[in-house]
Amino acid sequence: MSTFIAWCKFWNSVVVFAQSRVNETVTNNYKKSVIGFLVPVKKNKYFNVLYFTIIGFYKLNNLNKKFDFSVFQASDAGAGILALLLSKIHKKKFIFEIQGDIFEFPSEVGGRLHSNLVKMFSRFLATHADHIRIVSPYQYKYLSELGVDSSKIYLVPPRCESKVFNLSNIKSKPDIFSENSKNIIFVGNLIVSKGVIYLIEAVSNLIKKGNEFNLIIVGDGALKDSLVQLSKKLNIKKNVFFVGRIKYELVPTYIHYADLLVLPSIEEGVGRVLIEAMALKVPVVGSNVGGIPLLIEENFNGLLFESRNSHSLEKKIEEIFEYPKKTQNMILNAYSTFINNYEFDISMKQFIKMFEDIEQI
């Protein structure tokens, strides 16, 4: 919401059409400048895309009569097709946001058919968009290979609000954080692309060596039950805590009390949660995929491990706790990385500059 409100410094109004875990269509207005329309997610992903496209086409077509949109902007392949279609019909500009590793979308995420469809539609959208916003420089490579004109591409990194991820917002320590163990935290959706299975395996290996570790998993998703079963199978059920989804304002508290935050993704645009941990001066370990290695500089502001490799992750976790002086230096460097590159106001200035440039074209 903070992003959309900030966009209103440039646009008179921002209309957000998205899906959420609601039972019926919900309309939210914020000071008459941000208007949100949330529609339910359908269980079958292919039917869901069709449902979203049909409902979205009808709703946004009517909304355009009221607001006369200047641009249509979308951040995934499904929504992108809808936005592109509407932009052509109404002769408006289409901005395609590329936030993940969509050109090498792994088949583990949703199956081979889904992977191929995401890659196919993403390539189509990238070559037909009027403008493209990327979150990390690594995405320039794929766009260049597709022959996309570099003048159409805008690099606007993700952002983190220092007003939110600040020690002044920290509440009392949740009971699940042990005083006698090292507490590792994961925050995100429990889906294949986040690679949580490798984190559980790494923690299991560390515990078998006689180390005292707890793993706090914040989030929910399709893989939760299988991850719970994995922790039981590895005999570390008492060391793994599935917190579920929590209120956004509680996320800083959970990250703050952790000794380490790990993002074990098998595909990732950047990984906003890493930036949030950096803002709170919590050490970070991330997988060496997508945009993560452009955020984490090995041995400078965090550590990287080989994706899909629990033994590689295990060694990096050990390194964090075996060399506290080095870890403290990385924490300070990570905080500087956040302040200089990913603080909310810095990123938002780049967003506004992108909109200004697009309006002038």
pLDDT at 37: 86
Same domain, 241 and 274: yes
Spatial neighbors of 131 by CB under 8 A, at least 6 apart, are 93, 94, 95, 96, 152, 153, 154, 354, 358
Domain identity same for 141 and 172: no
Q: Which residue has the tokens 């938002």?
A: 348
Q: What is the pLDDT of residue 107?
A: 65
Query: Any idea what the CATH number is for the domain that residue 276 is in?
Result: 3.40.50.2000
| Residue 187 φ then ψ, to 5° | -130, 120
348 and 337 co-located in one domain? no
**Do 24 and 115 belong together in one domain?**
yes
196 shares a domain with 87: no
The average pLDDT across 312-338 equals 98
Rounded-to-integer distance, Cα 26 and Cα 41, Å: 12
Q: Are residues 194 and 148 in the same domain?
A: no
User: Which is nearest to 110 in space by CA: 267, 273, 245?
Assistant: 267
Same domain, 277 and 241: yes
Task: Give percent of the chain with pLDDT exceeding 70.
Answer: 96
81 strand-pairing partners: none
The C-alpha atoms of residue 41 and residue 48 are separated, in whole angstroms, by 6
Domain count, the chain: 2
For 72-104, write each residue's pLDDT tens digit: 999 988 899 999 999 999 999 999 999 877 777
Q: Could you report the per-residue pLDDT of 142-153, keeping only the tens digit for each?
A: 899 999 999 999
pTM over 0.75: yes
Task: Indicate if 38 and 144 belong to the same structural domain.
Answer: yes
Q: Are residues 316 and 198 in the same domain?
A: yes
Helices (H) and strands (E) in the chain — how many of each? 13, 13
Helix (H, G, I), strand (E, B) or coil at 47: helix
Residue 72's domain comprises 2-159+344-360
Alpha-carbon dihedral sign for residues 336, 341, 345, 346: positive
Q: What percent of the chain has pLDDT over 90?
A: 70
Q: Verify that 188 and 335 share a domain, yes or no.
A: yes
Phi, psi of 92 (to 5 degrees): -120, 170
